[in-house]
Amino acid sequence: MKTTDGVPLVKLMMLLSSMAPLFFLIGIRGINGVVSDKYVWIFIALVIIIPHLILWFRLYRAKKSHDVYTVKVKSARNNKEYLFTYLFTVLLPLYSVSIATQRDLIAIFSAVLFILFVLWNMNLHFINIMFALMGYRVFILEDFNSAILLTKRTKFPSAISELNVHRLSNSVYIELN
């Protein structure tokens, strides 16, 4: 199995969709007269809806085209800490920032771009609140050089040695029921 980056549009959409809670919280707080609430909510709706639509379309295409891999699993590690890391290092600090001037808006926009850049390069694009809300958990497949498996399993049974998974990108696979 190839675990290098692939399907870069999907990777970017996963990153943007992972930022959806932050965008929503910023919308609730508002941008204090710098930008009209109407335009803020239009922007937020677009950056939340478009990435999720593209992800759902990728899932649909993966199912339809049978983009299925058989993964031989020797060991898998559950990584709950990624969600906590995401919440406490990305969402909370940026949410507390007040946006009262154009400079504040540019600063938070730059911070979001920097975070996206870091998450892209650290291959942490699989952190997605929608997958978490649907019950998916993240497992690192150590035998495949940091391939990510999204599954609804709470524990990874040691009796399982092979899984049929759909590819979201070349490093993220999802087990669909």
- What predicted TM-score, i.e. pTM, was given to this entire model? 0.77
Q: Residue 58 domain-assigned?
A: yes
Across-strand partners of 149?
A: 139, 173
Question: Does any domain span residue 32?
Answer: yes
**Residue 115 within any structural domain of the chain:** yes
SS3 content of the chain, % helix, strand, coil (to 5): 50, 15, 35
Residue ranges making up the domain that contains 74 = 8-174
Q: Does residue 1 form part of some domain?
A: no
Q: Considering the domain boundaries, does residue 109 fall inside one?
A: yes
Say if 102 falls within a structural domain: yes
Q: For 124-149, what is each residue's pLDDT tens digit? A: 777 777 788 888 888 887 666 667 77
Main-chain dihedrals φ then ψ at residue 56, nearest 5 degrees: -65, -35
Whether residue 35 contacts residue 99, with contact meaning beta carbons closer than 8 Å, is answered with no
Each residue's pLDDT tens digit, 26-78 = 888 877 778 888 998 999 999 989 999 998 898 899 889 888 888 777 777 77
Domain tally for the chain? 1
Residue 80 in domain: yes
Residue 3 lies in a domain: no
- Distant-in-sequence, close-in-space partners of 30: CB < 8 Å, separation ≥ 6: 37, 40, 99
